[in-house]
Amino acid sequence: MDGVPPLFSVERGNPMFVHVVLFKLREPKPTLVTQALQLIDDMRGKIPGLLALETGRDLVHSRRSYDLALIASFVARADLDVYSNHPAHLPAKEFFKTFGESSVTVDFETKNEERRMKNENNRYYFPARSIFSISSGHRTAASFAGSSATLGV
């Protein structure tokens, strides 16, 4: 598994906890959206139990649209509480208190195996800062640093 070390391992079949938040900014200037995404990205690898962070900015800009989204995956429900009060999360919380107009959230448990990858010890995990793609019957994890590992699905 060169180049794709797991941050945390999750036994196959155990549920993980997912936290989804949509944010609407008072003034959705591109620079503010970029700043918000950077504050969220700065939390990566700093909060125990936080397996993965996915973020994105709105591309449609309809009346119903929110400006950006966060999807955070945790080992268990209790890890959301750790995340909520962790010092690495405070800058993002303060940003949204200052610049946010509204937010909506949903939190749920899932056993979605598609979001996990299996290592040689038959354990499933989220690689740190990875992009997933399916090709030729194998799952490829390409890290932002450019290294990758291919695992049989």
Q: What is the pLDDT of residue 14?
A: 67
Q: Determine the Cα–Cα distance for residues 138 and 153; give it in Å rounded to an integer.
A: 5
Q: Determine the Cα–Cα distance for residues 41 and 52; give it in Å rounded to an integer.
A: 10
- Per-chain mean pLDDT for the chain: 75
Q: Please state the separation of Cα 96 from the chain's center in Å.
A: 18
> Looking at the predicted structure, is the pLDDT value of residue 57 above 90?
yes
DSSP state of 14: -
| pLDDT (tens digit per residue) in 100-147 | 999 999 999 987 655 555 445 545 454 443 333 333 333 333 323 333
From first CA to last CA, the distance across the chain in angstroms is: 15
Q: Are strands 6-10 and 124-127 parallel, antiparallel or unpaired?
A: antiparallel
Q: Collapsing DSSP states into helix, strand and coil, what is residue 128?
A: coil
115 residue type, one letter: R
Q: Determine the Cα–Cα distance for residues 126 and 54; give it in Å rounded to an integer.
A: 12
CB atoms within 10 A of CB 10: 20
Per-residue pLDDT, averaged over 75-99, amounts to 95
Q: Determine the Cα–Cα distance for residues 11 and 143; give it in Å rounded to an integer.
A: 22
Domain regions of the chain by residue span = 10-114
CA dist 34 to 30, 67, 93, Å? 6, 11, 15
Of 24, 130, 115, 133, the C-alpha closest to 74 is 115
> What percent of the chain shows pLDDT beyond 90?
58
Q: Which has the higher per-residue pLDDT, 33 or 11?
A: 33
Class of domain 10-114: alpha beta
Q: Enter the pTM of the model.
A: 0.67
